[in-house]
Every structure is written in structure tokens, then in C-alpha cells.
Amino acid sequence: MNDEQLLRYARHILLNEFGIEAQESILASHVLIIGAGGLGSPALAYLAASGVGRITIIDDDQVELSNLQRQIAHTTDRIGWDKVASAQVMANQLNPGVRVDPVVARLDDTSLAHWVQQVDLVLDCCDNFATRHAINRACVAARKPLISGAAIRFSGQISTYDLRQEQAPCYHCLFPEADDVEELRCATTGVLSPLLGMVGSAQASEALKVLGGFGEPLVGRLLSVDALTMNWHTVRFGRDPDCPVCANRCE
Ligand SMILES: [Zn+2]
């Protein structure tokens, strides 16, 4: 680290659990963020400010007026921009030392495998079950740590799937894919704006812990928050031995 970096990241380096080694591994890391919306905005802001060396962010949407209530990477004067281009501007204003690669793309299994292979860690900041399961399949196959966040109405959830570990469950172990799952989306049901900040920031915290190798990530634990009561609670869950996605990953 040079003098500018030592100063920029001084408040991380001061933390005994964090220190200079964790900051250096974070600076050398490449993270993939899928979704530049309500969760991707705070996650990207905190990861860029924290010095994640390289961040690829993928989204195929453009900024609309109705996004601005919660998608704080974007600004009124950037309505109509690709969300990833707008997010890149925000991240580089916070920290020009971070390389942000914006990708305008709709993801399928093939393209996800391509992107996931290149990175150290994946943040699922998307808004639908089909993409969540596709991201999980790609992360299981490539054995990359996955941090998944979701928020709807006043309810948020976060968990970390460290798929490098033999006994760590995957997203499908916890949320089996079913045809009859009712999809709730912010576009139709509404969501409390700062809830996305809580969940996206928690995802960024988890990412720093996994990349920096400190603390106790939410592996095998689902953290839920109800913003109406501000109750936070954690439930433990294990690997499903019959999970069709990850059951054979040791072989
Ligand atoms: Zn599984």
C-alpha cells in the first residue's frame, strides 16, 4: 500500500481484527455484483469505498424516475442511463482507485458461468427467484462464495453461502426451487427505501469478512430483519443431503 492508501483505509487498518493484511487482500480482490438496483447501490458504494480492487457490476436496466426512491447509486440527472454506467460514476467518485467494470447484459446459465469464474466472490443483488437460482448454480459449480440479499415491503434477508467449504449449504438447500412460488417484486408490492440500505450494507460487510478472512460470516445462518418492528433474528440451517444443485459437489 502507498501512503495515500494507508491514509484512505486507516480506519480499517486500525481495527485489530481487520488490519493491514485484510485490507491488502481486499485491494487485491475481484467481486461480481449482480444487480445495480436497491441492494446493488449500497453494496457497491461500501465495497468501492472499502477498496475492493476490482468490481464487475451487471444489470440490463436503465435508470427510471421510480427507481430513485431507493436505488441510491443513481441520480435525477442520470435518468435514462444504463444503471451500471450510473453506478460506475458513483463508485469512482467515492474511490477512483477502484476499477469498476460495468456490464449491460441479461444473464443466463452460460454467461453466469463465464462471469462467476473470473471473480473471488459474488453478491446476489437481483430481484427474482429464477436469477437467484441461476447465480447459485454458477457459484456451486465454480465453488465461489455467494452472498445473497433480498428485501420486500418491510422484510429483509441476508445469508452467506461459502461454497469453498465442503459442509456449507447452498441457496437451493435453504430455498428449494418450486414452480408455485409466488414472486413478490418491489415494482408491484412496494419496499421501504432504507431497508435496502440495511440489507445491501450487510451484504458488503459479509463480503469484506470473507475477502479479508476475519470475523464469522453468515454461513449456515439466515439473518432476517423486520423493519416495521426492527426485530433482527438469525436462524441456522444445514446442507440438504438431497439438494439437486450441491449434493454431488464433493465428487
Ligand atoms: Zn444445496
- From the CA of 182, how far away is ligand 1's center (Å)? 21
- Tell me the three state secondary structure of residue 245: coil
Give the pLDDT of residue 187. Answer: 66
Q: Would 245 be classed as within a structural domain?
A: no
- Report pLDDT for 189: 87
Q: What is the pLDDT of residues 4-43, one digit of tens each?
A: 999 999 999 999 999 999 999 999 999 999 999 999 999 9
- Which grid coordinates belong to 239? 446442507
Do 108 and 134 touch, CB atoms closer than 8 A? Answer: yes
Active-site residue flag, 186: yes
Is a pLDDT exceeding 60 seen at residue 251? no
| Residue 232 near residue 224, CB atoms below 8 Å | yes
Cell readout for 158 is 441476508
Asked if the structure places residue 207 within a domain, the reply is yes
Residue 126 has pLDDT above 90, yes or no: yes
- Tell me, in angstroms, the distance from the centre of ligand 1 to residue 161's CA: 10
Mean pLDDT of 55-69: 98
Average pLDDT over residues 224-230: 98
Cα–Cα distance measured from residue 162 to residue 139, given in angstroms and rounded to the nearest whole number: 9
Taking residues 121-145, what's their average pLDDT?
A: 96
> How far does residue 222's CA lie from ligand 1's centre (Å)?
14
Is pLDDT at 242 greater than 60 in this prediction? yes
Distance 108 CA to ligand 1 centre (A): 19
Beta bridge pairs of residue 234: 223
- Domain annotation covers residue 209: yes
Q: Provide the CATH number for the domain around residue 188.
A: 3.40.50.720
Domain assignment present for 174:
yes
Ligand 1 centroid–CA 63 distance in Å is 34
As for how many domains the chain has, the answer is 1
Say how far apart CA 148 and CA 206 lie, in whole Å: 10
Is residue 70 assigned to a domain?
yes
pLDDT tens-digit readout, 181-205? 667 666 678 999 999 999 999 999 9
Note whether residue 248 is domain-resident. Answer: no
pLDDT number for residue 169: 97
Q: Is residue 241 part of a domain?
A: no
77 C-alpha to ligand 1 centroid (Å)? 43
What's the gap in Å between 247 CA and the centre of ligand 1?
A: 6
State the residue for C-alpha cell 453506478. 87
**Domain carrying residue 50:** 3-236
Please give the mean pLDDT across all residues of the chain: 95
Across 206-214, average pLDDT: 98
Give the Å distance between the CA of 86 and the centre of ligand 1: 35
Q: Please tell me the predicted confidence (pLDDT) of residue 179.
A: 61
Active-site residue among 186, 243, 246, 250? Answer: 186
Owner of C-alpha cell 460506475: 88
Task: Report if residue 246 sits inside a domain.
Answer: no
